[in-house]
Amino acid sequence: VGTAESPDPRIEHGLAALLGRDQVLPGTVAEFLHDATEERGIAGWADAIVLPRSADEAAAALAWCYERDVPVVPRGGGTGLAGGAVPCGGVVLSTDRLQAVRSFAPELWRIEVEAGVRTADLRRRARENGLLFPPDPGAAEQSHIGGNIATNAGGPHAFKYGTTGAWVTGIEAVVPPGDVVQVGGVLRKDVAGLDLKRLLIGSEGTLALVTAAWLRLIPAPESAFPVVAFFPDLETGCDAVGSVIGNGVVPAALDYLDEGALRLAARSYPGQVPVGAAFAVLAEADGSEAEAASVRDDLVHVFEGSALAVETDVDRGALWRWRDGVSLAVATARGGKVSEDLEVPVERLADAVRGTVEVGRRHGLTGLSWGHAGDGNLHATFLVARDDTSGQQAARRARAELFAVTRALGGSISGEHGLGLLKREYAEWSRPVAALQRQIKAAFDPKGLLNPGKKLPPDDPGSGPRL
Ligand SMILES: Cc1cc2nc3c(=O)[nH]c(=O)nc-3n(C[C@H](O)[C@H](O)[C@H](O)COP(=O)(O)OP(=O)(O)OC[C@H]3O[C@@H](n4cnc5c(N)ncnc54)[C@H](O)[C@@H]3O)c2cc1C
């Protein structure tokens, strides 16, 4: 491979000779060199970008690279928040042109799609046929289903329906040194052999390039009713979340905004935020009309005891659009943000939310959070302008401390965005677990060429960049 300053033209030309000029772009095309961590100033470089039109073309490209020791970085919609699709040289293998719906059997509740189908398009296609593909990650208009599988993406409705992996019955993938394999398929159950499908889910492009998937759908719920509750403080709000769970109420989504996030997003809220609100819970009740109404009433009953206000007449579409915009509203407040996706046991949510604010304060930063309360999943955030060098340094120190706080609460440093490039130096594995992870990686990718430097325990922990 070349260098960041001068990519190796032989790689672009060699792949163009193999696949045709139209399938290969120079490594300098900027849109393929970053993901959503661009807001933190992270971008990479590549020798070439490859846009295969089929699994066979992707396999040919991987085989060509594997033979020549060229690293390969799988890429979907580039919305990742861990730098997983950011190349550090080599070839970016994009799923942009793998957009076919290979088969759709609405009456059997299943669909087979290529990896480059956008999440929102898949959800719309299901919906038009009376079905639901439940995973609803926030950047669904841009993210690809292959990227969702590679990160096992979540979203608000993962509380009831689980993350992307729960909906995947089969995967077609290209594995080193250049083979197309199928693991699983249309079968809803299959325990013949080790569960390789499950290994690929969430593997962040380090084991294979996902080229297609068989997905499970369900009949769309007849009704879905939002319930939004505002609380006077964090503890009361988190207690209410605990009461929902403890009382056996099962909403489809159970999200939250803490005081800081609520303050910055309140202006565009499509309803009325009461004075004194310091914590908001966004819930949704779904099912048949009667079931959804019953769950909605249960939620109202649980919240009413301690909330400042409970709203049930807010427009559902407007509510979730607003929720999707929270990240942007928070980022624009100070001209940038450093956000971390943390996971804690749900009963420790209040400690983690408070911990984020306190860690921020210790480093001279405003800390706040929002996220998927029912899953114990926080988007813990420090406000800091992109060009504020000392603020960015403080945020780097603060996030290291935040990870320690998370661990002390029995949590994980990533609930849904993955480790990618950004976090692998912070992850902690026991020696045997690290060894198993490396052995599994080596079994799929003996030369270590698939998305190197991402996700997995470094050979020499502490020697890599602490971004
Ligand atoms: C505004 C916003 C909101 C978001 N909300 C959520 C949310 O609610 N829940 C959530 O989980 N995430 C969320 N994300 C993060 C991101 O959208 C998800 O991680 C998403 O699944 C990434 O998909 P992608 O196609 O963009 O993948 P990319 O960013 O292109 O890649 C992500 C990782 O997957 C690998 N990869 C991509 N495609 C393949 C493939 N075909 N085969 C193998 N590996 C592949 C890449 O190498 C990389 O490591 C959000 C991001 C933004 C910007």
343-386 pLDDT, tens digit each: 999 999 999 999 999 999 999 999 999 999 999 999 999 999 99
Average pLDDT (318-331) is 95
Tokens coding 358: 């306190």
Closest Cα to atom 27 of ligand 1: 147
**Rounded distance, CA 17 to CA 11, Å?**
10
Model confidence at 4: pLDDT above 90: no
- Return the pLDDT at 2: 86
Confidence tier at 63 by pLDDT (50, 70, 90): very high
More confident residue, 323 or 463: 323
- Return the pLDDT at 463: 63
**Most informative mutation of 81, 96, 161 for ligand 1 (most atoms within 8 A of CB):** 81
**Most informative mutation of 94, 119, 151 for ligand 1 (most atoms within 8 A of CB):** 151
The answer to whether the beta carbons of residues 102 and 114 sit under 8 Å apart is yes
Tokens 């001068």, located at residue: 6
Average pLDDT (113-124) is 98
Nearest to 228 by CA among 282, 265, 286: 282
Model confidence at 204: pLDDT above 90: yes
Task: Kindly write down the DSSP assignment for every residue of 243-280, as one continuous string.
Answer: HHHHTT---SEEEEEEHHHHHHHGGG-SS-PPTT--EE
Model confidence at 464: pLDDT above 70: no
**Rounded distance, CA 222 to CA 302, Å?**
24
The answer to whether the beta carbons of residues 114 and 76 sit under 8 Å apart is no
Tens of pLDDT along 427-460?
889 999 999 999 999 999 999 999 999 999 887 7
Confidence tier at 466 by pLDDT (50, 70, 90): low
**What is the CA(341)–ligand 1 centre distance, in A?**
13
Confidence tier at 51 by pLDDT (50, 70, 90): very high
**Rounded distance, CA 197 to CA 318, Å?**
36
DSSP letter, residue 427: -
* Pick from 42-56, 172-186, 216-230, 416-430: least confident: 416-430
Average pLDDT (232-250) is 98
Q: Is 459 exposed, middle or buried (0-12, 13-18, 19+ CB in 10 A)?
A: exposed
**Rounded distance, CA 451 to CA 248, Å?**
42
**What is the CA(207)–ligand 1 centre distance, in A?**
16
**Rounded distance, CA 313 to CA 304, Å?**
15
Distance of CA 36 to the CA centre of its chain: 11
Tens of pLDDT along 154-171?
999 999 999 999 999 999
Q: Which residues contact 226 (CB under 8 A, 6 or more apart)?
A: 282, 283, 284, 311, 312, 314, 316, 319
Helix (H, G, I), strand (E, B) or coil at 27: coil
**Rounded distance, CA 384 to CA 464, Å?**
24
Tokens 């939620």, located at residue: 299
The answer to whether the beta carbons of residues 72 and 116 sit under 8 Å apart is no
- Return the pLDDT at 372: 98
Residue 44 phi/psi, 5-degree rounding, is -120, -160
Buried b (16+ CB within 10 A) or exposed e, 209-238: bbbbbbbbbeebbebbbbbbbbbebbebbb
Length, in residues, of the chain: 467
Confidence tier at 1 by pLDDT (50, 70, 90): confident
Model confidence at 73: pLDDT above 80: yes
**Rounded distance, CA 372 to CA 374, Å?**
6
- Return the pLDDT at 465: 58
Torsion from C-alpha of 457, 460, 463, 465, nearest 10 degrees: -20
CA-455 nearest atom, ligand 1: 49
Side-chain-side CA neighbours of residue 104 (13 Å):
15
**What is the CA(41)–ligand 1 centre distance, in A?**
18
**What is the CA(78)–ligand 1 centre distance, in A?**
6
**Rounded distance, CA 447 to CA 316, Å?**
49
The answer to whether the beta carbons of residues 395 and 365 sit under 8 Å apart is yes
Q: Residues lining ligand 1, CB < 6 A?
A: 35-36, 73-81, 84-85, 95, 115, 137-139, 143-144, 146-148, 150-151, 153-155, 204-205, 209-210, 327, 416-417, 420, 451, 454
Model confidence at 40: pLDDT above 90: no
**Most informative mutation of 75, 148, 161, 343 for ligand 1 (most atoms within 8 A of CB):** 75
